[in-house]
Amino acid sequence: MKKAVYPGSFDPMTYGHLDIIHRAAEVFDLLIVSVLNNKEKTPLFSVEERVKILREATKDLPNVQVDSFSGLLIDYAAEKDIHVAVRGLRAITDFEYELQIAQTNRKFSEGRLDTMFLTTSLEYAYLSSSTVKEIASFGGNISRCVPGFVADLIYEKYQIKTRSNAHEQQNRADNR
Ligand code: ADP
């Protein structure tokens, strides 16, 4: 059975992440999307909330599981008997950072954890969790960035009063 882990912050999950999940789920028999509990970052969503969002968004994908982990990815992967990590690449700036992590993981796992990169679909190349949060914090329209239920949760966090307005925009976008 070919298994892989897709680790990340997913704070919150965007259509860019979802696209990578769909594509990786076609390659592997089992894909575990795992939310990193990173104590150094102050997230908008708790690990539990991020897991819940990912579960809801992937509920129609039978070979995708959602989990969370703290500590080193190589230890988590070994525990699950997984030898491939999936990561997404948007731009050359991602590459430098990702290359270093991939090589470190390979070295420190003594070759037991390799990394497979999927390049972003062009329509999501600009998309990151942080830009989505910034736009939403000013009440901007994020309907092209995240599913409707995620947009609602983000506006709720920022206590944006235009929430229902944004929801209507989302519905219109979904029906298009
Ligand atoms: P991290 O803090 O681990 O980078 P992120 O949630 O920001 O966590 O990203 C997780 C992974 O998803 C990374 O490999 C990142 O490059 C990838 N990713 C994020 N957004 C996109 C996107 N729009 N298209 C493709 N890959 C993406």
Ligand 1 close to Cβ of residue 128 (< 6 A): yes
- Looking at the structure, do residues 106 and 174 belong to the same domain, yes or no? no
Q: Considering all CA atoms of the chain, what is the largest pairwise distance in Å, rounded to the nearest integer? A: 52
Encode pLDDT of 91-112 as tens digits: 888 899 999 999 999 999 999 9
Model's pTM, two decimal places? 0.91
- Looking at the structure, do residues 133 and 153 belong to the same domain, yes or no? yes
Q: Kindly give the residue spans of alpha helices, DSSP state H, lying in 11-83.
A: 15-27, 47-57, 73-80
Residues across the chain? 176
- Looking at the structure, do residues 115 and 165 belong to the same domain, yes or no? no
Q: How many domains does the chain have?
A: 2
- Looking at the structure, do residues 75 and 96 belong to the same domain, yes or no? yes
In angstroms, rounded to a whole number, what is the distance separating the alpha carbons of residues 172 and 176?
6
Encode pLDDT of 34-76 as tens digits: 999 988 779 999 999 999 999 999 999 999 999 999 999 999 9
Residue 109 sits in a domain whose CATH number is 3.40.50.620
Domain boundary among 109, 125, 141: 125
Domain boundary among 83, 104, 125: 125
Which ligand 1 atom lies nearest to the CA of residue 41?
Answer: 2
String of b and e for 28-37 (b: at least 16 CB within 10 Å)? bebbbbbbbb
Of the chain, the percentage scoring pLDDT greater than 90 comes to 85
- Looking at the structure, do residues 72 and 120 belong to the same domain, yes or no? yes
Q: Which domain holds residue 82?
A: 3-125
Which ligand 1 atom lies nearest to the CA of residue 98?
Answer: 14
